Amino acid sequence: TFTNALVTEVGMPALDARSKDAAKMTLKFKPELTRKVPTQGGKVAIPIDAKRQKQWLPANFRLKINGLEASSSRVNKIEALTIKQKVTENAVGEMRDYEQEPTSVEVPNLVFTLAESHAKPLYDWHEDFVIKGNNAQDKEKGGTLEYLASDLKTVLFTLTFKNLGCFKVAPDKMEAGAEGVRRIKAEMYMEDVRFSSSPSATFGK
């Protein structure tokens, strides 16, 4: 058994428009106290509707960056996003134990690739934001990443990004002699991210 656990990490999977694997979210907890207790044996039954669970695939997503809709709608891959909550221990003398207190939140960068043919708005923003130095807070952007069901209409989860700033745009690596679509990779910092889910994200029976 454990008590007073804090969520220390939420990991959202990498997204790929060509993937057919099941998508998985990762959660990590840090409890204040854990104890072993005797049990009566048996198995824990967790009913899962397999058909509904298959709704969530890494290929089904929709990225929108305000002012860059023409580019963000053409994204084919997004790297995994992991949000971490740092925790500090607060010693309590009388209890001779430690309390856990949440401190700062570590927010990841948004990294994605898209076809070079649709990257001009992104290049233009990068040139203005980085090269010309017009990177005040009012030049940062907001956006959303929606994780969709298999019908590509139902939204399961949404990440809302605030204060995005593009700091790198470069051609994505290609194997020598490959005849694929030329792509570019963009990297953006974000100052805040919020997670929300819809009733459609309940996969149990």
Whole-number Å distance between alpha carbons of 80 and 16: 10
Token digits for 7? 């969520």
pTM to 2 decimals? 0.83
Reduced to 3 states, what is the DSSP secondary structure of residue 106? strand
Token digits for 30? 């840090």
What are the beta bridge partners of residue 194? 160
Whole-number Å distance between alpha carbons of 39 and 187: 49
In this prediction, residue 204 carries a pLDDT of 47
Yes or no: say if 186 and 123 are a contact pair by the CB < 8 Å rule.
Answer: no
Q: What is the pLDDT along the chain (205 residues), one digit of tens a residue?
A: 888 889 999 999 999 999 988 888 999 999 888 888 887 777 767 666 666 666 689 999 999 999 999 999 999 999 999 999 998 887 766 656 677 888 888 999 999 999 999 999 999 999 999 999 999 999 999 999 999 988 899 999 999 999 999 999 999 887 655 567 899 999 999 999 999 988 877 644 4
